[in-house]
Amino acid sequence: MLADQLIDLLGFTNTDSPLIEAVKAQGGSIESISPKKMREIISDFIPFADKGVELAFRPREFYERDYGAPKGEGPYVMVAVFYFPNGSSKYSAYQGKVPLATGPVTNRDQAFAAFGKPEETEEEDGQIYSDLWTVEGKLVHVDYHDDRSVALITVGFPKRDTVELLPVD
Q: Write down the pLDDT at residue 76.
A: 98
Contact 65, 157 (CB under 8 A): no
pLDDT bucket at 154, cuts 50 / 70 / 90: very high
Contact 93, 87 (CB under 8 A): yes
How far apart CA 74 and CA 88 sit, in angstroms, is 32
pLDDT, one tens digit per residue, over 76-90 is 999 999 999 999 999
Q: Write down the pLDDT at residue 169.
A: 46
Contact 11, 32 (CB under 8 A): no
pLDDT, one tens digit per residue, over 136-152 is 999 999 999 999 999 99
Q: Write down the pLDDT at residue 15.
A: 98
Mean pLDDT calculated for residue range 18-35: 97
pTM: 0.92
Q: Do the strands 120-124 and 76-83 form a parallel or antiparallel pair, or are they unpaired? A: unpaired
Q: Write down the pLDDT at residue 102.
A: 87
CA–chain centroid gap for 32, Å, is 18
